[in-house]
Amino acid sequence: MAKRIPLPDISGLLSLRRMRRLASRTARRLGYYLTRDPASAVQADHLTRLFNALKINCVLDVGAHYGDFGTWLRGIGYAGLIVSFEPVAENFAVLEERSGRDTRWHAHQTALGSTAGTAELHLFSGNTFHSFLESSDYGRERFTTRMHVERSEVVRVERLEDILDGLVRDLADPAIFLKVDTQGFDLEVVRGLGTKVDRIRALQVEMAVRPIYEGTSNLVMDAWPELDRLGFRVSAMFPVSYDADGLSLVEFDCVMCRSHPVDATP
């Protein structure tokens, strides 16, 4: 007869999680956030105010990875539509499982860019650094164990201009926030909006102070003026990574909101 192995009693852990969720919901109603990370609380407060002011009811989550941003949004009280894009099969499996529990969260296994088709995506050992771009000398120096290419994967690429109407067809008055985290490819995603860029009320892109990829599109000195020409003004900036000294900024998330009509002049 097979020997039965007793399972651990996790009732206490489940009760703790329920208490934590209840405490978090109660705190949000009072205008507070429970977090171990003060910077996350500042970002949560800013995006909550921005979403309320602009009546955001749709978030396009590009480069969703495992769905961490969508989960975080739900955690700070956002209840609107989330549409996530993640091309890597292994990552998408996790994202699909997470989003599948939420009827207002849709996931698509595709990348976004300025040209539709297929492209080769480099899968780095660090899991979070997958990119269409090659790593730079600085990137390999700074993130040594996480920027070694293990393999490549051919993925589908769509343009937002081509698919945007279908994504928001169930919303009577779409108010869209575009979040992009595509490892140096961020501005290519924005360029893929084409004539529909004015449909975006606000966005968050990752900008590079020191590029960790070759040919990056999001170098701050280039990306900032381009987004300004498209009618976006800086609303907030949040650090993402630092140099080895822990003080020199390498990348930051830049939140921008629309403030004037699009200027198509280069």
229-257 pLDDT, tens digit per residue, is 999 999 999 999 899 999 999 999 999 99
Count the neighbouring beta carbons within 10 Å of the beta carbon of residue 166: 8
For residues 15-27, give the mean pLDDT.
Answer: 57
> Which pTM does this prediction carry?
0.82
For residues 202-226, give the mean pLDDT.
Answer: 92
CA distance 165 to 83: 13
Q: Answer yes or no: is 23 within a domain.
A: no
**Structural domains of the chain, count:** 1
pLDDT at 29: 56
Q: Answer yes or no: is 207 within a domain.
A: yes
Q: Answer yes or no: is 107 within a domain.
A: yes
Q: 255 vs 259, which has greater pLDDT?
A: 255
Give percent of the chain above pLDDT 90: 63
For residues 3-15, give the mean pLDDT.
Answer: 48
pLDDT at 200: 97
φ/ψ of residue 23, rounded to 5: -65, -40
E strand or H helix at 222: helix 220-229
Q: Answer yes or no: is 224 within a domain.
A: yes
Please report which confidence band the pLDDT of residue 5 belongs to, taking 50, 70 and 90 as the band edges.
very low
Give percent of the chain above pLDDT 70: 82
pLDDT in tens, 24-33: 555 555 555 4
Q: What is the average pLDDT score of the chain?
A: 85
Q: How many CA atoms lie within 13 A of 57 on its CB side?
A: 10
Tokens of 156: 């589908």
Q: Answer yes or no: is 53 within a domain.
A: yes
Q: Answer yes or no: is 151 within a domain.
A: no
CA distance 34 to 53: 23
CA distance 248 to 228: 25
Q: Which domain holds residue 218?
A: 38-118+157-258
Tokens of 85: 């894009």
With a cut of 70, say whether residue 14 has pLDDT above it.
Answer: no
pLDDT at 3: 45
CA distance 158 to 250: 29
Q: Answer yes or no: is 263 within a domain.
A: no
Q: Which letter does DSSP use for residue 137 in this model?
A: H
pLDDT at 152: 87
With a cut of 90, say whether residue 122 has pLDDT above it.
Answer: no
Q: Are 170 and 194 in contact (CB under 8 A)?
A: no
Q: Are 167 and 159 in contact (CB under 8 A)?
A: no
pLDDT in tens, 161-202: 999 999 999 999 999 999 999 988 999 999 999 999 999 999
Beta bridge partners of 105: 82
Any idea what the CATH number is for the domain that residue 174 is in? 3.40.50.150
DSSP string, 46-80: HHHHHHHHHT--EEEEES-TTTHHHHHHHHTT--S
For residues 207-220, give the mean pLDDT.
Answer: 90
Q: Answer yes or no: is 15 within a domain.
A: no
Please report which confidence band the pLDDT of residue 10 belongs to, taking 50, 70 and 90 as the band edges.
very low
pLDDT at 79: 96
pLDDT in tens, 50-78: 999 999 999 999 999 999 999 999 999 99
